[in-house]
Amino acid sequence: MALARPSSALLSCSSSACLRRLNPLLLSAAACRRPAWAPRRVARRFSAAIASETDVFNSPEVAKSFDFTNEEKIYKWWESQGFFKPNFDRGGDPFVIPMPPPNVTGSLHMGHAMFVTLEDIMVRYFRMKGRPALWIPGTDHAGIATQLVVEKMLAAEGVKRTDMTREEFTKKVWEWKEKYGGTITNQIKRLGASCDWSRERFTLDEQLSRAVAEAFVRLHDKGLIYQGSYLVNWSPNLQTAVSDLEVEYSEEPGNLYFIKYRVAGGTRDDFMTIATTRPETIFGDVAIAVNPEDKRYAQYVGKLAIVPLTCGRHVPIIADRYVDPEFGTGVLKISPGHDHNDYHIARKLGLPILNVMNKDGTLNDVAGIYSGMDRFEAREKLWSDLVETNLAVKKEPYTLRVPRSQRGGEVIEPLISKQWFVTMEPLAEKALHAVEKGQLTILPERFEKIYNHWLTNIKDWCISRQLWWGHRIPVWYIVGKKCEEDYIVARTEEEAIAEAHEKYGKSVEIYQDPDVLDTWFSSALWPFSTLGWPDLSKEDYKHFYPSTVLETGHDILFFWVARMVMMGIEFTGSVPFSYVYLHGLIRDAEGRKMSKTLGNVIDPLDTIKEYGTDALRFTLSLGTAGQDLNLSTERLTSNKAFTNKLWNAGKFLLQNLPDKNDVSAWDVLLSNKFDSEASLQKLPLPECWVVTGLHELIDKVSRSYDKFFFGDAAREIYDYFWGDFADWYIEASKTRLYHSSDKIAAATAQSVLVYVFENILKLLHPFMPFVTEELWQAFPYRKQALMVTPWPTTDLPKDLRSIKRFQNLQSLIRGIRNVRAEYSVEPAKRISASVVATADVLEYVSREKQVLALLSKLDVQNVHFTESAPGDANQSVHIVADEGLEAYLPLADMVDVSEEVKRLSKRLSKMQSEYDALVARLNSPSFVEKAPEDIVRGVREKASEADEKISLTKNRLTFLQSTITT
């Protein structure tokens, strides 16, 4: 949710309704547009030592607003200083995040922006907390996606992959990777990602490839990897099996075909009608099934049915509770070679499995005369023949849920294929126990149920892919021997040859399995393969494994996160991370998924150019863990205004601080930390209040960070900075800086301004690193970069009494502002006031006479403090700010009473006419009975609101008239 600035008009309101309206979370972006503070002093130009030496940073004293184009210079400076590397100087346990490796083919989208933002918030926070922080970056070789990209590139040159050798093709892919593979990395840097790029990894790096081979061998040696023919998702165009994650389902128009299956040995009237969306698969039928409770077909159970157009092939008619009697005709054809559900039924009942399709999507010899035809061409021909043979009952439109390849877009075919599989059940059991025992915490907690459900119902994992790009399966076969019986699993070809020579003699020839491993196999090893595993002596592995947090999208909880947990426990004996933080998807302003088809894609790089990286990051951070976030330009605009507000606050401070060359003044200013009870108690009320609020903020924000409640932390900082510091304390400080000759008071205000602002920058830095670092460097005597500055100390002293007292003062100021607005007092006009309160309240309120006068626009010479009502109370507007605190504002100071009576009388007459018209509509039966309900309700609400306004206006008019008669 974007945060917006309350408008100045709202500051004059009172009552609980006012408090709601003052909530910045409820306001629109338009309310952000307030002018920057006008300079009160001539700007003195100075900059921090670091900034002047590097010529990297700009200052609010010389720049009207934060320059987004400077972000890249700041980032390069951070990187050049080595700030992204883990630092053990301050001790503490390492904080480690393995980056979800984006596809090497990818370009930046909002999903990347989300994970980069959240992970960078974490690592910057814990770095400032003093923990050696390591964020491991890298990219994934993305087998299918990368191979497709290069094949398309070659096709544009008139070259097919199959025209090349495997070695020639993979060389081309590596060339492409070296030329274009860094695009996504550079774009991630543009988001401010403080990764240790010296440790950047690629899943096909030599070290990671060695880890993949090691993992395969170990799993195979334990009997957890096997080869077999099973039903998989097959891509006819890509000619490979694909994972469930790479299959996208779309609703598309199609047909439901009703076909007669005659009952063997029966009359012409003995037939069963099935309904199918894929009639071309009837050649793979091995049974016809009905629900055992379905009496329509009870007499046929146990008999045989004749499969149409198969020259009389018979299949059994069986009963199974899986069949839905309400779908179609209640009769189900069982084609286990071409349907996942049918496959499981066949395995359960021991039915044979019949495949009728080639891997290119054409029908095979089992289909008889349809052999060699494309599956969709065969569908049309088959239906035509069924109609001709009177076996077609009807064809009706039907909305299909079509599985398509995420990469190629073609329709995926369930197909029996010989593949390599991992037995998952024993691995899943350990991963389940990790969560049960509290070794792994999933955030938000509700995703534990999904995690448990998946792992409890897990199926074996098909890990082989029929591609040329990827980790080649480390299996070698013996020339002249059957693959299923004689093969060697080894870490390297040299190992395989040595073993083959030992088993079969020196003259034996071997060849490697042509398939590659599923990309998710190497990704499952990512948290430890990136740190040097299987070499346990590697320093990185010893220092940084297990990692701390794995942050990613909730949509790959099973496909990646669960597999990492399983593999981490299996190979290292440890859960690979302590926490899993799951973010939601980024949607458009209307809650729709972003897609090129809808034309609602928001490009992060375009967004950065217009709004700045900080505004984008802050907007994304306001989401709730696990929930989708609607992103709109209004929210981005609002948070860009927040960036400007920070900049203007920095400008104000720099214009009102001692000259850099006044060393003694700066020594005093920087030595005031207000971190003791004594130092806090000495402060005047506004200063004590704002420092107490800061100390409370540090505690709340630190707790939110520690709990991974980043949205809460962002809102807490925003509310305090804009609502308390900028709108109230900065304005109050002007009485010390501009309207007082008390040098001690001015110096105290300067110290508080710097103390509070620098701590706000620290708290906000993980969210908005660029503008906060630039502001930090704009102040003199900065000894180190903000990103490596220690986090603010928690549990600092607080004067809770000052909060209540300043709230009273705020209520009084708001009340006076509200009255000024109600009576349309000219903004520049100073008015009188009598403040009535108990002695103890008067004691602290009267001390802040200058603040009260400045913020309420009172005539400071005519502000009086008393314990009883003034003599002209009957001719004054009475304000009750709080129990024991009131004020009287003389009417004569604010308005010409006679003219105001005339104006209100005229206004009341108009309001009454409008109200009467509304009531007349509501009293009309034809309107109430015929108009839409929402229209009638709207008129009722307007009438109620008008009635309330009339009542208030009458009361004010009566009061004014009474003052005239008095």
What is residue 162's DSSP assignment? G
The rounded distance, in Å, linking the Cα atoms of 213 and 217 is: 6
Which of the four pLDDT bands, split at 50, 70 and 90, describes residue 30?
very low
Residue 439 tokens, joined: 């070794």
- Can you give the CATH number for the domain in which 685 is found? 1.10.730.10
In-domain check, residue 721: yes
pLDDT, tens only, 57-72: 999 988 999 999 999 9
The rounded distance, in Å, linking the Cα atoms of 547 and 471 is: 25
Does residue 864 sit in the same domain as residue 914?
Answer: no
The rounded distance, in Å, linking the Cα atoms of 469 and 145 is: 10
In-domain check, residue 276: yes
Residue 124 tokens, joined: 């910057």
Least confident of 438-442, 703-707, 735-739: 735-739
Residue 754 tokens, joined: 């710097």
Query: What percentage of the chain reaches a pLDDT higher than 70?
Result: 94
In-domain check, residue 184: no
Match 């609980």 to its residue by tokens.
16
DSSP output for 785-809: -GGGSPPPPSS----HHHHHHHHHH
Does residue 356 sit in the same domain as residue 252?
Answer: yes
Q: Given a cut of 50, is residue 51 above it in pLDDT?
A: no
Does residue 387 sit in the same domain as residue 507?
Answer: no
* Among the listed residues 789, 797, 560, 771, the one whose alpha carbon sits nearest the alpha carbon of residue 673: 797
pLDDT, tens only, 283-322: 999 999 999 999 999 999 999 999 999 989 999 999 999 8
Please give the backbone phi and psi of residue 174, each rounded to the nearest 5 degrees, phi first: -65, -35
Q: Given a cut of 60, is residue 29 above it in pLDDT?
A: no
Q: Given a cut of 90, is residue 936 above it in pLDDT?
A: no
Domain limit, last residue, from 895, 916, 937: 895
Does residue 669 sit in the same domain as residue 732?
Answer: yes
Q: Given a cut of 50, is residue 751 above it in pLDDT?
A: yes
- Can you give the CATH number for the domain in which 334 is found? 3.90.740.10
Does residue 869 sit in the same domain as residue 947?
Answer: no
In-domain check, residue 79: no
Domain boundaries, position 671: 629-781
C-beta of residue 918 within 8 angstroms of C-beta of residue 942: yes
pLDDT, tens only, 327-358: 889 999 999 999 999 998 998 899 999 999 99
Q: For residue 475, give every residue at least 6 positions away whose Cβ sits within 8 Å of its Cβ, in sequence order, or none.
A: 420, 487, 488, 489, 512, 513
HEC profile for 695-760?
Answer: HHHHHHHHHHHHCCCHHHHHHHHHHHHHHHHHHHHHHHHHHHHCCCCCHHHHHHHHHHHHHHHHHH
Residue 896 tokens, joined: 């010409």
Residue 100 tokens, joined: 């979800």
| Domains contained in the chain, number | 5
Q: Given a cut of 80, is residue 49 above it in pLDDT?
A: no
CB environment 481-490: b (16+ within 10 A), e (fewer): eeeeebbbbb
* Among the listed residues 421, 452, 419, 424, the one whose alpha carbon sits nearest the alpha carbon of residue 567: 424
Does residue 773 sit in the same domain as residue 846?
Answer: no
Match 């039924």 to its residue by tokens.
345
Greatest Cα pair distance, the chain, in angstroms, is 124
Q: Given a cut of 60, is residue 123 above it in pLDDT?
A: yes
In-domain check, residue 851: yes
Beta strand 287-290 pairing with 138-139: unpaired
The rounded distance, in Å, linking the Cα atoms of 783 and 53 is: 12
Match 């990777």 to its residue by tokens.
177
Domain limit, last residue, from 462, 489, 512: 512
Which of the four pLDDT bands, split at 50, 70 and 90, describes residue 16?
very low
- The full length of the chain comes to 966
What three-state secondary structure class fits 925?
A: helix
Which of the four pLDDT bands, split at 50, 70 and 90, describes residue 592?
confident
C-beta of residue 385 within 8 angstroms of C-beta of residue 397: no
Least confident of 125-129, 381-385, 600-604, 852-856: 600-604
What three-state secondary structure class fits 255?
A: strand
The rounded distance, in Å, linking the Cα atoms of 151 and 161 is: 6
Q: Given a cut of 50, is residue 25 above it in pLDDT?
A: no
Q: Given a cut of 60, is residue 3 above it in pLDDT?
A: no
Least confident of 119-128, 246-255, 864-873, 952-961: 952-961
* Among the listed residues 810, 799, 856, 852, the one whose alpha carbon sits nearest the alpha carbon of residue 829: 856
What three-state secondary structure class fits 348?
A: helix
What pLDDT, on the 0 to 100 scale, is given for residue 54?
Answer: 57
What pLDDT, on the 0 to 100 scale, is given for residue 896?
Answer: 63
Question: How many other CB atoms are there within 10 angstroms of residue 61's CB atom?
Answer: 16
Does residue 479 sit in the same domain as residue 402?
Answer: no
The rounded distance, in Å, linking the Cα atoms of 89 and 457 is: 47
The rounded distance, in Å, linking the Cα atoms of 617 and 120 is: 10
pLDDT, tens only, 637-658: 999 999 999 999 999 999 999 9
What three-state secondary structure class fits 666?
A: helix
Q: State the chain's mean pLDDT as an integer.
A: 89
Match 């995703």 to its residue by tokens.
447
pTM: 0.84
In-domain check, residue 506: yes
Residue 889 tokens, joined: 């504002």
In-domain check, residue 468: no
Domain limit, last residue, from 397, 415, 433: 415
Does residue 863 sit in the same domain as residue 773?
Answer: no
Query: What percentage of the chain reaches a pLDDT higher than 90?
Result: 70
Does residue 346 sit in the same domain as residue 287?
Answer: yes
Q: Which helix (H) or strand (E) holds 917?
A: helix 897-922
The rounded distance, in Å, linking the Cα atoms of 387 and 400 is: 22
Does residue 771 sit in the same domain as residue 637?
Answer: yes
C-beta of residue 683 within 8 angstroms of C-beta of residue 755: no
- Can you give the CATH number for the domain in which 928 is found? 1.10.287
Does residue 865 sit in the same domain as residue 951?
Answer: no
Which of the four pLDDT bands, split at 50, 70 and 90, describes residue 53?
low
The rounded distance, in Å, linking the Cα atoms of 152 and 168 is: 16
Q: Given a cut of 50, is residue 849 above it in pLDDT?
A: yes
In-domain check, residue 712: yes
Region of residue 591 (phi > 0: left; psi between -120 and 50: alpha; otherwise: beta): left
* Among the listed residues 435, 230, 227, 180, the one whose alpha carbon sits nearest the alpha carbon of residue 336: 230
Residue 441 tokens, joined: 């915490």
Does residue 752 sit in the same domain as residue 817?
Answer: no
Q: How many CA atoms, within 13 angstroms, populate the side-chain half-sphere of residue 626? A: 13
What pLDDT, on the 0 to 100 scale, is given for residue 90?
Answer: 81
Rounded to the nearest 5 percent, the helix, strand and coil shares of the chain are 50, 15, 35
